[in-house]
Chain A
Amino acid sequence: MVRQFGEVALAIAIAPLFAGWIAQCRAWLQSRTAPPLIQPYRMLRKLFNKDAALAIDASPLFRTTPYIVFGTMVLAAAIIPSIATDLPFARVADAIALIGLFATARVFLSLAAMDIGTAFGTMGARRDMMIGFLAEPALLMVLFNAFLLSGSTALPSVVDASTAHPFFVDPSLIFAAVAFVMVLLAENARIPIDNPATHLELTMIHEAMALEYSARHLALVEWASDLKLFNYACIGFALFLPWGIATHGRDGAPELGLAVAALLVKLIVAGAALALIESLSAKLRIFRAPEYLAMAFLLAVLGLLVHLLLGA
């Protein structure tokens, strides 16, 4: 139980750092002066100290949504085996249920965006739900692939299965990994689909939904979206780069320390890679998003077929 709380606390603590790291890498790649790494924390502190300005017509749904979204993301962080597989919460939901949990957060945020009844809020809700239904089939095919390799959709079992023979990489995993990264970028409002730094009204997706939030509510929404990115990265590590995660029976203090170190290294590399991808690609028009996610889907299906054809 202590380890469970430790894992969650670590996730909550370093999720903004991960987002800050990506922002820093992006700034370097674009030869700008990078903001300090702790900039996201300063932002959160500032927001928590401000007075909340709430629209006149906001219903209780609007006010509770930031807490619910934050809560689902924290819970997801408890379920995903980011440092150890043998944790009490790890079996509460398998990977498919995790997608469902993310969908719950998305639906709440979309409903809250529609609650005020402004033009941009509903536009953001509509677009975010669209990205959601386009991304889900691709994500499911990625998980299908993982299931075929390990015989399980529970992430701890996937990690246990793949760390059992660490130097074997199935070719289908490469396709699945590329598809997963594409979905990750789309789901977390990153560049080819959405721009986290944009404030140009007509291109916003995630920003448009958070537009009416201020102060502590906005802080929670932003923190939750950092956590979502962190969670997605950890799902990716569990599926494709499970090395270092403390597995069942081998999770004493030294192994856990090693697992934390491995996680940090992976996050640093992954953050730099994400920044590189984002800097090299241009934002797509919103109606090119179906093509982009269809490509992710086809890659995942290719991975599946490769596995079935080669493995049979």
Chain B
Amino acid sequence: MMTGMTSAVAIHDLHFLLWLAAAWIALGFMGMLRPHTTRFIAHLLFPLGAILCLGVALLAGIFLATGHAPQMVILPLGLPNLPFHARLDTLTGFFLLLLGLAGAGISIFAAGYFRHGQGTPPGLLCLQYHVFLASMALVILADDAYFFMVAWETMALSSYFLVTSQHRIAEIRRAGFLYLLMAHVGALCILLSFGVLQGGRWQFTFDAMRGASLPPFWASAAFLLALLGFGAKAGLVPLHVWLPEAHPAAPSPVSAMMSGLMLSTAVYGMLRISFDLLHIRYWWWGVLVLGVGLFSALFGAIFATVQTDMKRLLAYSSIENIGVIFTGIGLAILFDASHLPLFAALALSAALIHSLNHSIFKSLLFLATGSVLHATNQRSLGKLGGLIRSMPWVATLALVGTLAIAGLPPLNGFVSEWLLLQSFLYTPQIPHAFLNMLIPLGAAVLALTAALAAYVMVKFYGVIFLGQHREPSLVNAHDADWLERIGLAWLALGCIAIGVMPQLALRAAGTVTGALLGQTVNLGSPFWWLAPIAPKQASYNGLLLLAGIVAVVSITFVVVRVLAHGRMRRTVPWDCGYPWQTSRMQDTAEGFGQPIRHIFGSFFGMERELPSPTDVAPRYRIHIEDRIWGVLYLPIARGVQRLADWVGLLQSGRLPIYLLYSFLTLIALLVFVL
């Protein structure tokens, strides 16, 4: 609190941020004034919300660029002896920057998207949407367990209502329930973790928790509870089951917020507890997080390849990306526990930048699916195709996101993956006999995941936008309107900007690692160069790479035109001379996933129905299931059911028996008292 009081200017940032969060809530309530007027809400309130997002990003960016001194304030809210504390430090600043940047694009898109007002009336949606946005900002700003949990639960509830905005569909209600259940199991774990962290002093401010030096057992307990709680929110395997149900169920801007922003708040919480509130980190925590992260990444990528619903595919891809982020966190913990702070800073920077990247490109792709959904009313990949011709804007902007998420240079996804692979290169220096040989293999898993992500994205983009229309009705698909295009373009610009100026993101991450680990990677190079350890060791320059490709492509184009010619005629496709071609002969979404099913068959629970040669009406069906349901969740559900059955034995439904229970309880109490 002392640091906050020292400068009057410094306290302004935090105050402004809190006022911006309050303004979001106010915007939401303004939506309730005229809940059915789509114009008022879509063309006034949502753009205003986007401007507030930009304000948050700007303030957070200025804070990261100039002052790094933490600012604190005690709000006149909360319970009498338990006021809300808020704090702005570099970790907070980084995640607010992420929230603001991606949120601005999503809000502008939402202004164009919520035009029809199906399901929940637009005014109510506006309220839920902005409360969701504000609660995420408050989760990041909270500086005591009480405020954190209030904001966390508000976030869960507001997003629950947004997920179930089409509540007349039973499937969506079910997805919403599953989400709520998992959110609460997670919240309970987080609450318990805070309970352990306060260390018996009953002080729930984060400042007090930083001071409590927990014994090893309790520190590990707090860490594991936090991993469970935040892992459930982030969608780490095996706590991911709600994610592929809930994300597709929500309207697309909400899917984008949940996938791009809400998952990041879980990453934030994990970083806050493991690097800030806990005073020590043990190496086996790192190994655990690394293992879970790598498995989630691989699992998510493999399952994404076999999906046939475009939003489910993206949801599984979120699991993959969260896995990559947690891999970075695990490596950072491991390096930090092994007293290699420079490499810890490298791994943590990779995790932070990947969070930022994921929030941008995943939002972009979810929003693009929203436009496709609006234009075609189809979510199934088997009924799309060829949309690049009728929706050139969405297709072009989605291509940027596709290449970025596939981890291809010179876009942003590659930057964080490159940093993470670089930090893997130093794992042989970890002073543990077996770990230093095992963990390098993690780099291979990561490379496999990245290459699988490229496979997934070729499938996603190729099946939706390229090829022939799989349904005749797709000819009439219309492109996105101008507000949607602005939102998509903003996010696509973010993908390119971070890709060609990676040093900016690295510097922002550097302020965080400097505060948490006391160490930063090499930030000295100009903003288009990336050389985290030393230029001699490894360097990457996205801007020059992009400029080089553009230059060579244009020179080649001109040379070919000048020396040869540009004559061209249009014909029917060649296709090895087969005369009879229909759009049904392209690969289906199932077909494109076939090599993966063949190679990674043991991951899936597969149910196949193949036609026999003599079938009159041949039918091909394949159903793919997550094995974790059968291994983990169904036994738990059955156990609960059995327990309930046993308790049910007490309920006979006859009054004398119940009176007997009361009588026996009284007798027992009397015996106990006397």
Contacts and interface: CB of A to CB of B under 8 A. Distances in A.
Interface of A: 48-49, 51-59, 61, 64, 67-68, 70-72, 74-75, 78, 89, 91-94, 96-97, 100-101, 103-104, 106-107, 110-111, 114-123, 125-127, 129-130, 132-134, 136-141, 144, 147-148, 151-154, 157, 201, 211-212, 214, 216, 220, 287, 290, 297, 301, 304-305, 308
A306 to B, nearest CB: 11
A67 B570 contact: no
Contacts of A111: 458, 461-462, 466
B337 interface: no
B450 interface: yes
Interface in B559-593: 560, 563-565, 567-576, 578, 581, 583, 585-587, 591-592
Contacts of B424: 144
Interface in B531-566: 535-541, 544-545, 548-550, 552-553, 556-557, 560, 563-565
A97 B592 contact: no
Interface string B413-430: 010001001101100100
B238 to A, nearest CB: 24
Given A74-B552, A97-B414, A297 B444 contact: yes
Contacts of A126: 587, 591-592, 594-595
A140 B455 contact: no
A114 B399 CA distance: 14
B581 A115 contact: no
Nearest to A59: B388
B104 interface: no
Contacts of B571: 53-56
A282 B423 CA distance: 39
Contact of A123 (B538, B583, B587): B587
Residue from B424, B448, B545 whose CB has the most chain A CB atoms within 10 Å: B545
B407 to A, nearest CB: 7
A61 to B, nearest CB: 7
Given A71-B552, A104-B403, A107-B408, A136 B450 contact: yes
Given A53-B574, A67-B556, A100-B407, 4 more contacts: A53-B568, A114-B467, A118-B586, A122-B462
Given A53-B569, A96-B422, A152 B538 contact: yes
Nearest to B452: A133
A153 B444 contact: no
Among the interface residues A48, A64, A75, A157, which one has the most CB atoms of the partner chain B within 10 A?
A75
B341 interface: no
A92 to B, nearest CB: 5
B385 interface: yes
19 contacts: A55-B572, A57-B389, A57-B573, A59-B466, A70-B552, A71-B550, A92-B541, A97-B414, A100-B418, A107-B457, A117-B468, A119-B586, A123-B587, A127-B595, A130-B596, A132-B451, A137-B448, A140-B444, A153-B422
A225 to B, nearest CB: 15
B409 interface: yes
A136 B548 contact: no
Contacts of A96: 418, 421-422, 538
Contacts of A141: 440, 443-444
A124 to B, nearest CB: 10
A162 to B, nearest CB: 15
B6 interface: no
B100 to A, nearest CB: 29
A122 B536 contact: no
B462 A125 contact: yes
The 7 closest A-B pairs by CB, nearest first: A117-B467, A133-B451, A114-B462, A117-B468, A122-B587, A71-B552, A137-B444
A179 to B, nearest CB: 12
B570 A56 contact: yes
Nearest to B568: A52
Contacts of B573: 55-57, 116-118, 212
Given A71-B553, A153-B537, A216 B564 contact: yes
Contacts of A139: 447
B44 interface: no
B569 A122 contact: no
A220 B466 contact: no
Contacts of B444: 137-138, 140-141, 297, 301
A51 B571 CA distance: 12
Contacts of A122: 462, 467, 586-587, 591-592
Contacts of A117: 385-386, 466-468, 573, 583, 586
B540 A97 contact: yes
A285 to B, nearest CB: 12
Contacts of A115: 388, 466-467
A120 B598 CA distance: 20
B545 to A, nearest CB: 6
Contact of A308 (B385, B418, B436, B550): B436
B445 interface: yes
A120 to B, nearest CB: 6
B536 A152 contact: yes
B408 A51 contact: no
B406 interface: yes
A132 B448 CA distance: 9
A93 B648 CA distance: 67
A151 B540 CA distance: 16
A200 B605 CA distance: 35
B454 interface: yes
Contacts of B599: 130, 290
B657 interface: no
Contact of A118 (B399, B536, B570, B575): B575
Contacts of A91: 535, 539, 541
A119 B458 contact: no
Given A111-B462, A120-B576, A70 B545 contact: no
Interface string B376-415: 0000000001101100000000010001001111000010
A118 B451 CA distance: 24
A308 B428 CA distance: 8
B493 interface: no
B185 interface: no
B408 A100 contact: yes
Nearest to A137: B444
Contacts of B587: 114, 119, 122-123, 126
A117 B298 CA distance: 29
B437 interface: yes
Nearest to B539: A91
A27 to B, nearest CB: 26
A152 B451 CA distance: 23
B632 interface: no
A140 B421 CA distance: 9
B441 interface: yes
B425 A147 contact: yes
Contact of A68 (B422, B448, B553, B568): B553
A154 B467 contact: no
B570 A154 contact: no
Interface in B325-374: none
B549 A72 contact: yes
A97 B418 contact: yes
B555 to A, nearest CB: 9
A211 B540 CA distance: 35
